[in-house]
Structure 1
Amino acid sequence: MDKARAELGRDLAHAVRTGPFSAVLHLAIEDRGLRLEEIQERLAIAGVRISLTMLNHWRRGRSQPERPESIRAVHLLEGILSLPAQSLTAQLGPRRPRGRWPAQLPGMLDVDRLFANTSVISMIKELNSWMYHELTRVSMHDVYLVGANRQEIGLVCRQVMRANIDRVSRSVGIFHSDDLQAPITISALRNCRIGRVRDEPGTGAIAAEIVFDRVLSQGETVVVEYEFRVDSAHFTDHFYRGFSVPIGEYLLQIQFDAEAVPAKCYRFEKHSISAPEQGVREVWIGSTQGAHLLACDVPPGVVGMRWEWQ
C-alpha cells in the first residue's frame, strides 16, 4: 500500500469517528475507488433509485439524506463502500432546516444579505465548493487600492485559514464592485492557484475557487494571497467586507493614490448590507496616503470604511 493510500485510509478512519457525514462518504468513495455511476447502479439493483446529483450533494455536504428512501440508501451505501454498520447513518444527526443552500449554521448570516444588486449564492452553487464546516477563518487582511482619478483599482486579499477536517483543498474568494459593468479579473499571488471562476455580467460580482498549494489535514493552517483587478473609471468612496460566519481578526487598509487623498475617512459596521451603520468613527489618514481599521472577534455582518474628498 503506497503512502497516499495509507493516508487516505487513516483519514477515513478518523472521519468515521468524528464525522461529518459528507466527509465519511467522500473519503469512503475515494478509498474504494468507485465512481458515482457505479454506486448509483448498485443502489438501483438493490431497489433504491438516487440521482447522481443527489449523491454528489451528499458527498459535498450540500444536503443530507432525510427521506425514508434516502435513509435506506445510506444503509445500502455502508455495504457498498465496505463500511462498518451505522458508520454513515450515525453521522446524520437531526434534520436540517429547509431553505436556501448552503444550509445555515448556528450564528451564520445568509450570504446574499452581504451584497447588493446580486445573488452571490447562485455563483457559489456553480462552484460546488462552499463548505462552511471545513475551514475556520483565523484572519483576513484586505488592501483596497484607489487610483489617481478616485477610481477603484482592485483588492489584494490575504487569508489565514485552519482546516477543521482532513483533506481540505480549497476555499472561495468573492469580490463585488460598485461599477456593475467593469471587467474584473483575479490572480493568485502566494500559496494558491485560481480554479473555476463565475461571474454575473451587469452585477459587478465575481466568485472564484482558491485552490491551496497542498491538501490540508485537520488542524493545519494555510496562508493564501490573491488579487482582484478592476478595469473601471467609476468613482469609489467606500469599501466593505461582509462576513457570513465569525472571523478572529480582520485588517482593512485603504491605499489612496497621492493625487486622490480624501479629506476624511470613517470606519463603520453593519448587521447586513441594508442595515444602518453602527460604530462610526473617523480614521486617521497617514503620510503615505493610507488608512486602516483592525477588528477582532468579528461577528457575522459588514465591516468597512468610507471617505470624503470635500
Structure 2
Amino acid sequence: MAEFAEALARAVEASGLSLERIQHHLEQRGVQVSLSTLSYWRRGRSRPERPESLQAVAALEEILRLAPGALTGSLGGRRPRGRWVERATALEGIWGDAAIDLGREIARVNRLLPAPAKYLSVRDQAVIGPDRREVEIRSSAVIEAFEDGVDRMLIAKTADDTDRSPGDIVAEKSCRVGRVRRDDDHKLLVAEIILDRVLRAGETALVDLRLISDPGADSASADRTFLRTLRNYVLEVEFHPGAVPVRCHSFTRPGPDAPDVETGELWIGTTCAAHLVVPEAQAGHVHGVKWEWE
C-alpha cells in the first residue's frame, strides 16, 4: 500500500493539480471517485481494490501523464480481507457451507488485515437479570469507512464456557441482520450486519445491536476485544435491584490468553449500575468488568 501511496503523492505533486481538479478530470471520463477516497489513497490510509477503483487508477495515470502501469503496477496483489471481532466486510467463503468449522475460519481470518472501516466510538450496556445471569448486551457504535463501498460489517459473538449456546444477535434501527452462521460446539456465532446505506470513504454510520445471551450459570464478567485501537469505549453493567454483587472491578488483558490485570474498583450506584470508561482501548487487548456475588 505504501508504494502506491508514495507513487500517487509524487505524481499529484508533480502535476500541480489539486485533488478537486483531478476529481473533475475523472468525472469527465465517467469515473466517480470522492475527494476523501483520493485523499485516503494518496496518504496510504486505503488502497483501490474494486474493479471501478482500478479503472479510476488507470484514468489517473492518463490525467497525471504517467506511463501506463506506473500506478497500477505499484498496487501488487489484492490484499486479503477478514473480519474484526467486528469486521466491516463480508468473509469470502464463510457462508458457503452450513457445516463450516467457524472456529477454524475465525482463527484463519484473525491473521488477515483489518477491513476498510473502523470504530470511532462504542458503548456497550450489559444487562444482568434477577437470576444473576446476563440477559443481553446492548451495543451502540459509530463506524467510519476507509474507502468507498462499505455496506456491511461482520460481528463475531463468543460465549462463556458455562453458556448453553452462543445466543443470538438482533439489529436495531439503523441496520439489519443478514446471513448468520453458528458453531454451537465452539459457542461461536458470526452474523453479517447490513448497514442502512452504502458508505463512501470518510462517511460514518450508526450500528445498534442487541447481543442476546444464553447463560447456564451465574454471570461474573462482561468484556470486549478490539482489533483496532479505539478511542472512547464505554462499558456499563446494569444489575437487577434484586441481584446486586458485593464487589465490582475493571480489568484488562493484553491478549486473549494473558492473565487479567485488575485496573480499579468500580462503584455500584443507586441505579444498580457500574461503568468503565477506556479513553484508548488498545488493539488486541481485552477490556471488561468483573463482579463477585458473595
Same fold (TM over 0.5): yes
Residue of structure 1 in register with 2:50 after alignment: 26
Specify the code of the residue in structure 2 equivalent to 1:175.
Answer: K
Aligned with residue 142 of structure 2, among 160, 176, 179:
160
Q: Contact 2:81–2:114 (CA<8 Å) still a contact in 1?
A: no
Deviation at 1:284, TM superposition (A): 0.4
Deviation at 1:182, TM superposition (A): 2.2
Q: What are the equivalent positions in structure 2 for 1:147-226 lying under 5 Å apart?
A: 147-178=129-160, 179-182=162-165, 184-226=167-209
1:121–1:210 distance in 2 versus 1, CA, 3 Å: farther
Q: What are the equivalent positions in structure 2 for 1:75-90 lying under 5 Å apart?
A: 85-90=69-74
Deviation at 1:256, TM superposition (A): 1.0
Question: Following the alignment from structure 2 to structure 1, what is the Cα–Cα distance between the partners of residues 75 and 55?
Answer: 18
Residue of structure 1 in register with 2:121 after alignment: 139
Structure 2 gaps of 5+ residues are 1-26, 62-67, 85-100
Deviations, residues 241-283 of structure 1 (Å, cap 9, x unaligned): 0112211111001111111110110000110122122243110
1:175–1:133 distance in 2 versus 1, CA, 3 Å: closer
Q: Contact 2:81–2:113 (CA<8 Å) still a contact in 1?
A: no
Aligned residues: 238
Q: Contact 2:144–2:204 (CA<8 Å) still a contact in 1?
A: yes
Deviations, residues 44-82 of structure 1 (Å, cap 9, x unaligned): xxxxxxxxxxxxxxxxxxxxxxxxxxxxxxx9xx9xxxx
Q: What are the equivalent positions in structure 2 for 1:1-310 lying under 5 Å apart?
A: 9-11=31-33, 18=41, 24-28=48-52, 85-92=69-76, 102=82, 122-123=105-106, 132-178=114-160, 179-182=162-165, 184-300=167-283, 301-310=285-294
Question: Following the alignment from structure 2 to structure 1, what is the Cα–Cα distance between the partners of residues 289 and 74?
Answer: 46
Structure 1 gaps of 5+ residues are 1-5, 33-74, 79-83, 105-117
1:15–1:180 distance in 2 versus 1, CA, 3 Å: farther
Deviation at 1:184, TM superposition (A): 1.3
1:229–1:30 distance in 2 versus 1, CA, 3 Å: farther
Question: Following the alignment from structure 1 to structure 2, what is the Cα–Cα distance between the partners of residues 243 and 141?
Answer: 13
Q: Contact 1:16–1:24 (CA<8 Å) still a contact in 2?
A: no
Specify the code of the residue in structure 1 equivalent to 2:144.
Answer: R
Deviation at 1:308, TM superposition (A): 0.6
Q: Which protein has the bigger helix share? A: 1
Q: Contact 1:144–1:156 (CA<8 Å) still a contact in 2?
A: yes
Residue of structure 2 in register with 1:68 after alignment: none
1:167–1:102 distance in 2 versus 1, CA, 3 Å: closer
Q: Contact 2:102–2:182 (CA<8 Å) still a contact in 1?
A: no
SS in 2 for 1:239: strand
1:193–1:85 distance in 2 versus 1, CA, 3 Å: same
Q: Contact 1:15–1:23 (CA<8 Å) still a contact in 2?
A: no
SS in 2 for 1:89: helix
| Aligned-pair identity (%) | 27
Say what the alpha-carbon RMSD is for the aligned residues: 3.8
User: What is the TM-score when the length of structure 2 is the normalising length?
Assistant: 0.69
Question: Following the alignment from structure 2 to structure 1, what is the Cα–Cα distance between the partners of residues 38 and 236?
Answer: 39
Deviations, residues 89-138 of structure 1 (Å, cap 9, x unaligned): 22228x98xxx97599xxxxxxxxxxxxx975614879xxx862411211
Q: Contact 1:25–1:88 (CA<8 Å) still a contact in 2?
A: no
Q: Contact 2:157–2:166 (CA<8 Å) still a contact in 1?
A: no
Q: Contact 1:146–1:254 (CA<8 Å) still a contact in 2?
A: yes
Question: Following the alignment from structure 1 to structure 2, what is the Cα–Cα distance between the partners of residues 31 and 218?
Answer: 17
Question: Following the alignment from structure 1 to structure 2, what is the Cα–Cα distance between the partners of residues 284 and 16?
Answer: 45
Question: Following the alignment from structure 1 to structure 2, what is the Cα–Cα distance between the partners of residues 138 and 162?
Answer: 7
SS in 2 for 1:24: coil
Deviates more, 1:178-187 or 1:232-241: 178-187
Q: Contact 1:180–1:202 (CA<8 Å) still a contact in 2?
A: no
